[in-house]
Chain A
Amino acid sequence: MSLIRILWLRVLLFACLWWILAEGRLDGWLLGGVAVIAATWTSVALWPPPAHGVRLTALPGFLAFFFANSVRGGWQVALMALRGRRALQPAFLELPLNLPAGAPRILLINVLGLMPGTVGIELTGDRLRLHVLHQDLPVVAEARALERRIAALFGATT
């Protein structure tokens, strides 16, 4: 993606944000325009464009996967809370990561905390230690599925 296109996308994103924050009113756009330019400039300074571009075409699929699994995760933990501690059989688990370091891995660890049964504990080198609510849950297969989604989102190979 060219630099100009990324800049325009960011301007568009911040303009949308301003529109939402102003609740659709039109009287503040002078200030809004300044805020949008300042935000775009800051974002370029803090997060230079070439690093880890997100593929917009993969975004809807990722979001759908994320929503479906976070509802499943919440439902599962709610049922366990109703049953009390006899529903639990916690375990630690070591998961070797296939994703490249940086944004993809950070996203993986953060999203895992909302997926069914898992919370990330510690990342050492390429291995992530997880806490699992019940050792019989198919967490490894689900973590791999999440990894594939994130790889598609960043256009990386696992």
Chain B
Amino acid sequence: MNDIALAVALFLLGNLVITLLAAARGPTAADRMLMALLFGSTGSGILVLLAVAMSIPALVDVALVLALLAAIGGVAFAKRAWQEDGHD
């Protein structure tokens, strides 16, 4: 079980590196913003898997805080877009 968790964590890390390289390349600014999405989903996935694989339960709290901050950031992003809607 822990071996699977570790393997999946490493696999996700590989995924994250590939997607970061692809997203950073662009071509538009909106593509680069996709990285904000990646850190929310892949980042917290890697953290919880490592928490179990390495028996460091505190990493679950780190993942929770990361997801919470990503959620607040997401709401703030959307709210700004929303208010622009009201103006034009």
A and B touch in the complex (CB under 8 A): yes
The reply to whether the CB of A124 lies closer than 8 angstroms to some CB of chain B is yes
A124: chain B residues at CB < 8 Å are: 85
Inter-chain contacts of A23 with B (CB < 8 A): 57
What 1/0 mask marks residues of chain B from 68 to 88 whose CB sits below 8 Å from any chain A CB? 000000000010001001000
Report if A152 contacts B (CB, 8 A). Answer: no
Which residues of B are found within 8 Å of A122, using beta-carbon distances? 85
* Min distance, Cβ A101 to any Cβ of chain B, angstroms: 11
In the complex, the chain B residue whose C-beta lies closest to that of A23 is: B57
Give residues 49-70 of B contacting A (CB, 8 Å).
57, 64
Residues of A with Cβ closer than 8 Å to B?
21, 23, 110, 122-124
| Count of chain B residues with a beta carbon within 8 Å of a chain A beta carbon | 5
Q: Closest approach, in angstroms, between the C-beta of A66 and any C-beta of chain B?
A: 17
Kindly list chain A residues whose C-beta atoms are within 8 Å of the C-beta of B57.
23
Interface contacts (Cβ under 8 Å), in number, total 7
A110: chain B residues at CB < 8 Å are 78
Which 7 A-B residue pairings sit nearest by Cβ, starting from the closest?
A: A123-B85, A124-B85, A122-B85, A123-B82, A23-B57, A21-B64, A110-B78
Chain B nearest CB: distance from A78 CB in Å?
A: 13
A122 to B84, CA, bound (A): 10
Q: A23 to B78, alpha carbons, bound, how many Å?
A: 32
A124–B78 alpha-carbon span in the complex (Å): 15
**Residue in chain B with minimal CB distance to A109:** B78
User: Given the complex of chains A and B, what is the CA–CA distance between A110 and B79 in angstroms?
Assistant: 12
Q: How far is it, in angstroms, between the C-alpha of A123 and the C-alpha of B82 when the chains are bound?
A: 8
A100 to B82, CA, bound (A): 16
7 contacts between A and B (CB under 8 A): A21-B64, A23-B57, A110-B78, A122-B85, A123-B82, A123-B85, A124-B85
Q: How far is the CB of A9 from chain B (nearest CB, A)?
A: 22
Chain B residues in 8 Å Cβ range of A123: 82, 85
**How far apart are the CA atoms of A14 and B78 in the complex, in Å?**
26
Cα of A123 to Cα of B78 in the assembled complex, Å: 12
Closest chain B residue, CB of each to CB of A110: B78
The CA of A54 and the CA of B18, in the complex, are separated in Å by 41
Closest residue to B88 on the A side, CB-wise? Answer: A124
B48 to chain A, nearest CB (A): 14
B76 → chain A, closest Cβ, in Å?
A: 14
Taking the closest CB of chain A, its distance from the CB of B87, in whole angstroms, is 11
Q: How far is the CA of A23 from the CA of B64 in the complex (A)?
A: 13
